[in-house]
Structures are given as structure tokens and as C-alpha cells.
């Protein structure tokens, strides 16, 4: 999946290919969160389900229909050739996420139009959008998908578990993508689940209306106020105006409905890895207090925990109970409120997570970049060598799985080169070097003045 844009927010242009582990770096207000939230909106936007259901009913009515496979393919073609169906709510979602009255506020100052494009990695398939002051958000065109849609193959066979049901198999160019069981004609609505699978295949991992966990900036504050805000939101007698943007509101909703039931054991093990390294345990209960942290044997509600523990709690709970394989996690500033040692621990866990689900983070931490370089080099070492260095056998990441993008104040985004030797010198490294040089200059001037003062005293 790639996203390309121009004149969006503070950015003149950007071209970002989402890798298993994508990192946005750069100074404050350079546009990192703008792109991260845009990606979240494009993934999270929901289609017009009523229209989608009508299209399905027009083409498929009975699983015993002899023309069932043709009907299913016609349904998919009718839906995918009608992209407005999937982005009808995108304008409102952008407004709610960026807390703006009109989407034209997202156009870079001094320009008349903003654009962004979702494309596959090669750029052959595209969904193009524009933002103007007169028309707002417009879906301009969708291109490069016809041949792939025509190559879709639908097959059916008798379902194993139910002799009266059928298994529907979706393939493209001979490769099976997905299958589902229809026990009766009442299950026909399940065929809509083919649509995101086809999107993913065409656009190299992109599909709308996915549940995408987004852990926003300010997690510590939101977790401290979580119970109070949820209580106020649910109190029907008093409806205060609580100015939450769509991302924060989704964050609150997601944690309110979390159940203490592990969704994916491999991913949940990463939560245990962080807990062990940080000497803390994060607990989720059915009854209040729902969120509890246990630190050195002492249990306390998350509201009373330190800012660092409150900041990291959403990641731990998401890994345990909210994330499944082949999904995506977007997280702003995972280093916030944490000691530098914890930056390394979180990076190691997120790098491992990227082998199961895509990870996108924004960060200001040099320690995170240093740890990524370590993990790239670590990938070349054997298990014994990793253990000697204090790492786990499973740790390491290949350069091709990492994408690091530097957002600069000039409104441009640069992709950093990543090799087996690690990451090229980044803007953050340059900042550290400049600070060190500034300190050295002050030290030199101070030392010179001190020596001169001692010499004068002796005279």
C-alpha cells in the first residue's frame, strides 16, 4: 500500500509506502500526525451498508441458484466499480478526526487544491481524491483495477460441516484468497466480506472499513480520565459537550468494549514480554475498576498509576485483547513519559509485532531509531550471539520490512535509506549532533574564560 499526496496540511508532497514497520520522524508540526490520521481515516471509513446490501440482493438471492457463482462475481464487480459506495462517509470522518468545520481547512495555506491517492506498491492501481474550497472532498477516479477484477474466480463446493450448505471460494489468477461457508440463504450477507479481501489484493494491503487500533498522543491523560469520560458520555440526564475528535473517541470506545479474552496468543506474548521487562502487569476486569496495574506486587487502578504506566497500558491491553494477525496498529509517540530503557523494550516488541501485523508509529525518540538499527544488525546473528547480547532468539528485523520517513519543515517527506548496516543518519541524529556541538561550544567558552580568570587572579 502506498499513499501519495500534495498540499495536504503542512505538506507540499509525500509518497509513502507502508511497510510492515513504518516510522514517521521529524520536528513538531511537520505533518507526521496529519498523514498518520489520514491513513487511519482511509482504512477506518465505513461504506454505505444499505446500498451494499441492495446490490448484493440484486445479484444473489439463493445459495441453490445454479448461477450463484456468476451472481457473486457480478455483485463484486458492481460494488468495486462504484467506489463512492465506500467513501461516502470519508468527508465527515476527516472533519471529526481533524476537528475542523470544513475539509478545505486541510488544504495547505496559499494553495487552491489538495490531493491524495491510494495506490498499490507499483502505482498501477489508484484511487484518487481531491480537496477544494468549492467542492470539498471529491473522489476523482479509480483506475487500474479492471483486469484484476475480471480475473476473479468464484467456485463453490459442498460444505464439509453441513451437507445442505456450500463453501464459496474466492481466487485470483489461480491463487485462493478467501473462503467462507454458507449454511443457508440467510448467510448470503457474509459475501460482503469478500470485498475487503479483493481490495487488499489489488492495493497491496489496503482495504476500507477495517478495525484499526489507533493509540493517539496523550494516552496517559485519556487513560487517567477514561472512567470519568465514559460515565459522562453514558449519563443520559446530563449531556455535556466533550470535545473528543474521532480518533480519541474511537480509542475510548475500543477500550470500553475490551474483553479479558486473548485474541491471538503470539501477539499477546509480546504484551507479556513488555510486562516482564518493565516489571509490571496490566490487568483487565469485567467490573470496575476495569483497568488495573500491578507494580512490584502493589495493585492500583490505572488512574492512580504513573504517567509512564498509563501511557503504555493501551499498548499492552491492545496486544493482549484487541489485535489480531494481519491487522494494523497505528501508535503516536510510543516513547512518551517513558525512561530511555523502555524505548528500547517497546521498539523490540513492535518490531516483532510487525511480523504478524503492520505497525505505524510517529516518534521523536533517537533511542527508538538506534534500537531499530540494532535489530537490523541483530538479524544477521545466530541465537547464541543474540542471547549473549541480552536479546531473545526471535529478535531481529530485515531492512526491507522497515520504512522510515523524515518529515521536514519545508513540507517535504524523505525516505531514509535502510541497509543491513542500519539506518542512514536521520534528522533526529543531526539534532543530537547539533546539540552536542552547541554544548561543546559553551564548554569551550566557559573553560577559556575560567582559565583567563585564574591567570588574572595570579597576576
CA 440 centroid distance within chain: 40
User: For residue 419, what are the β-bridge partners?
Assistant: 422
- How confident is the model over 229-273, as pLDDT tens digits? 776 666 555 555 667 788 988 888 888 888 999 999 999 999 999
Residue 213 confidence (pLDDT) above 80: yes
Q: What is the model's pLDDT at position 458?
A: 63
Strand 402-407 relative to strand 413-415, pairing: antiparallel
Tell me: pLDDT of 445 over 90.
Answer: no
Query: For residues 266-295, b (16+ Cβ closer than 10 Å) or e, as one string?
Result: ebbebbebbbeebebbbbbeeeeebbbbee
Angstrom distance (rounded) from CA 116 to CA 118: 7
The Cα–Cα gap between 377 and 426 comes to 17
How far apart, in whole angstroms, are the C-alpha atoms of residue 209 and residue 257?
Answer: 18
pLDDT at 159 over 90: no
Could you tell me the pLDDT band of residue 440, with boundaries at 50, 70 and 90?
confident
pLDDT tens-digit map of 92-139 = 999 999 999 999 999 999 999 999 999 999 999 999 999 999 999 999
pLDDT-derived band at 11 (thresholds 50, 70, 90) equals very high
Chain centre to alpha carbon of residue 79: 26
Amino acid at each position: 500500500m502506498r499513499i501519495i499526496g500534495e498540499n495536504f496540511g503542512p505538506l507540499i508532497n509525500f509518497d509513502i509506502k507502508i511497510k510492515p514497520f513504518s516510522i514517521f520522524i521529524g520536528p513538531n508540526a511537520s505533518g507526521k500526525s496529519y498523514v498518520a490520521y489520514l491513513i487511519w481515516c482511509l482504512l477506518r471509513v465505513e461504506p454505505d451498508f444499505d446500498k451494499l446490501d441492495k446490490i448484493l440482493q440484486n445479484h444473489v438471492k439463493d445459495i441453490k441458484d445454479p448461477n450463484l457463482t456468476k451472481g457473486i462475481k457480478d455483485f463484486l464487480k458492481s460494488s468495486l466499480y462504484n467506489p463512492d459506495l465506500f467513501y461516502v462517509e470519508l468527508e465527515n470522518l476527516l472533519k471529526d478526526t481533524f476537528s475542523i468545520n470544513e475539509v478545505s481547512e486541510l488544504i495547505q495555506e496559499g494553495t487552491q487544491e489538495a490531493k491524495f491517492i491510494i495506490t498499490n506498491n507499483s502505482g498501477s492501481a489508484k484511487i484518487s481524491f481531491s480537496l477544494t474550497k468549492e467542492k470539498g472532498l471529491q473522489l476523482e477516479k479509480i483506475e487500474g483495477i479492471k483486469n484484476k477484477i475480471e480475473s476473479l474466480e468464484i467456485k463453490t463446493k459442498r460444505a464439509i460441516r453441513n451437507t445442505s450448505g456450500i463453501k464459496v471460494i474466492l481466487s485470483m489468477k489461480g491463487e485462493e484468497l478467501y473462503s467462507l461457508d454458507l449454511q443457508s440463504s440467510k448467510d448470503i450477507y457474509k459475501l460482503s466480506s469478500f470485498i475487503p479481501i479483493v481490495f487488499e489484493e489489488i492495493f497491496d494491503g489496503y482495504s476500507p472499513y477495517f478495525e484499526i487500533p489507533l493509540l493517539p498522543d496523550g494516552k496517559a491523560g485519556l487513560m487517567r480520565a477514561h472512567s470519568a469520560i465514559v460515565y459522562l458520555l453514558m449519563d443520559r440526564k446530563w449531556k455535556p459537550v466533550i470535545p473528543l475528535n474521532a480518533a480519541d473517541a474511537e480509542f475510548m470506545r475500543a477500550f470500553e468494549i475490551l474483553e479479558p479474552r486473548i485474541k491471538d496468543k503470539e501477539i499477546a506474548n509480546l504484551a507479556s514480554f513488555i510486562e516482564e521487562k518493565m516489571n509490571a502487569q496490566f490487568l483487565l476486569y469485567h467490573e470496575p475498576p476495569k483497568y488495573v496495574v500491578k507494580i512490584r506486587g502493589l495493585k492500583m487502578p490505572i488512574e492512580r498509576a504513573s504517567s509512564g504506566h498509563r501511557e503504555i497500558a493501551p499498548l499492552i491491553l491492545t496486544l493482549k485483547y484487541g489485535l489480531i494477525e494481519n491487522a494494523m496498529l497505528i501508535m503516536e509517540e510510543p516513547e512518551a513519559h517513558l525512561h530511555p530503557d523502555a524505548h528500547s523494550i517497546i521498539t523490540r516488541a513492535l518490531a516483532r509485532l510487525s511480523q504478524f501485523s503492520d505497525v505505524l508509529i510517529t516518534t521523536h525518540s533517537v533511542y527508538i531509531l538506534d534500537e531499530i538499527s540494532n535489530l537490523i544488525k541483530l538479524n544477521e546473528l545466530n541465537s547464541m550471539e543474540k542471547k549473549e547480547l541480552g536479546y531473545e532468539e526471535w529478535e531481529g528485523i530485515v531492512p526491507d520490512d522497515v520504512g522510515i520517513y523524515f518529515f521536514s519543515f519545508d513540507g517535504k517527506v524523505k525516505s531514509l535509506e535502510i541497509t543491513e548496516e542500519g539506518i542512514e543518519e536521520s534528522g533526529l541524529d543531526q539534532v543530537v549532533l547539533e546539540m552536542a556541538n552547541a554544548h561543546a561550544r559553551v564548554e569551550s567558552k566557559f573553560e577559556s574564560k575560567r582559565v583567563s580568570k585564574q591567570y588574572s587572579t595570579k597576576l
